[in-house]
Amino acid sequence: MKAINTANITHDQQPESSWQHLLSHCFSDPVSLAKFLQLEADQLNFSAAASSQFSLKVPLPYAMRMQKGDSRDPLLLQVLPDPRELEYFPGFVTDPLQEADANHLTGLIHKYQNRVLLMLSGACAINCRYCFRRHFPYDDNKIGSQQWQNILQYIENDNSIEEVIFSGGDPLATSDQRLDKFITQLGKIKHLQRLRIHSRLPVVIPQRITDHLCQILQTTRLQTVLVIHANHANEFDHQVSAALAKLQAAKVTVLNQAVLLKGINDSVESQKRLHTASFAAGALPYYLFVLDPVQGAAHFDISDSQAQQLIRELQRQLPGYLLPRLAREIPGMPHKTLLAI
């Protein structure tokens, strides 16, 4: 993967680039990223061995929101390969949600009643170190023309399916033209009612929210929900707000889900700022997940009791519509499991 040229780029100056260019020109080595952040490479707690297992990948718009000179920046810590990823922790596994058991067709996961999830792309705009699919077999789930026909037939044959979820990887890493084709064909299945898209791209590369994409989402008969993923208030800036405003103008419901991460957003103040910033930018707080026990991410974990105490305090300080639901996903359960507060 190509590293970007950081020469002459300042925090307030961003090149006029397409989202495709930004997606394909990410920081992929610690030296370039450290230089951009005005740090020495040895100030980053970077593990080459961890990166060889799950590579460093950071797009420029996201890196521009990191605080220069701060090796403990909360955005940086979400994406920097850490030597602790190589340590063994009991209970942390490669498939923490046991999705292989629900991978009924190439590119399709059917875990919950009345909805199916499609792996539209194995690509991501950013490699988050806590990702529960960091070990997922994306190469075995590529959706070509024949696989897509099989998926359409599967959905058409099951009248109980009301909702299709685009996931990945990141489904918005695929082209507008491909999305248009898929959404148009899904819209012809009469028992489908809703389309949900889970994507980190509106946050990490807000340029991805093109006028063409908004037109596609606005013209489908399916009710459309886009769930973004931001874990810290600093992930929101004016470009993200502008992208979410375009989605709202296209009559797309925008929600934000986050993961509770030790050392990044596990304080009452950081959570309060996150959900306030999310709502101000145009995304209603949705879920706050405790960490999925994926191999390589145990250093982000906090206890359920800590998470519950945090939410109880947030409940005292935030109006109900700004309070996310504290939840975890338990393999085999027919729904997300809410943690009592």
Segment 52-107, tens digit of pLDDT: 999 999 999 999 999 999 999 999 999 999 999 999 999 999 999 999 989 999 99
Domain end, chosen from 51, 86, 121, is at: 86
196 band by pLDDT with thresholds 50, 70 and 90: very high
Residues 53 and 122 grouped into a single domain: no
Q: Is residue 213 part of a domain?
A: yes
Q: Is residue 94 part of a domain?
A: no
Residues 250 and 104 grouped into a single domain: yes
265 band by pLDDT with thresholds 50, 70 and 90: very high
**What pTM was computed for the model?**
0.93
Query: By CB neighbour count within 10 A (0-12 exposed, 13-18 middle, 19+ buried), where does 157 fall?
Result: exposed
Contact 78, 264 (CB under 8 A): yes
Average model confidence (pLDDT) across the chain = 94
Residues 281 and 226 grouped into a single domain: yes
In the prediction, which pLDDT does 334 show?
87
Q: Is beta strand 325-328 parallel, antiparallel or unpaired with respect to 337-338?
A: antiparallel
Contact 192, 118 (CB under 8 A): no
Nearest to 186 by CA among 210, 213, 166: 166
Residues 39 and 132 grouped into a single domain: no
Angle at 251 between CA 249 and CA 256, to 5 degrees: 90
Q: Which amino acid is at 101?
A: D
Domain end, chosen from 86, 108, 126, is at: 86
CA–CA gap between residue 300 and residue 78 (Å, rounded) = 9
Contact 243, 216 (CB under 8 A): no
Report whether pLDDT(4) > 50. no
Nearest to 251 by CA among 225, 227, 274, 271: 225
What is the 8-class DSSP label of residue 4? P
Nearest to 261 by CA among 94, 135, 131, 81: 131
Residues 298 and 172 grouped into a single domain: yes
Residues 185 and 328 grouped into a single domain: yes
217 band by pLDDT with thresholds 50, 70 and 90: very high
- CATH for 183: 3.20.20.70
332 band by pLDDT with thresholds 50, 70 and 90: confident
Residues 110 and 222 grouped into a single domain: yes
325's tokens: 């639901």
333 band by pLDDT with thresholds 50, 70 and 90: confident
Query: What is the total count of domains within the chain?
Result: 2
Segment 219-237, tens digit of pLDDT: 999 999 999 999 999 999 9
Task: Give the percent of the chain with pLDDT over 90.
Answer: 91
Residues 104 and 79 grouped into a single domain: no
Contact 160, 130 (CB under 8 A): no
Report whether pLDDT(10) > 50. no
Domain assignment of residue 73, given as a range = 19-86
Domain end, chosen from 52, 86, 120, is at: 86
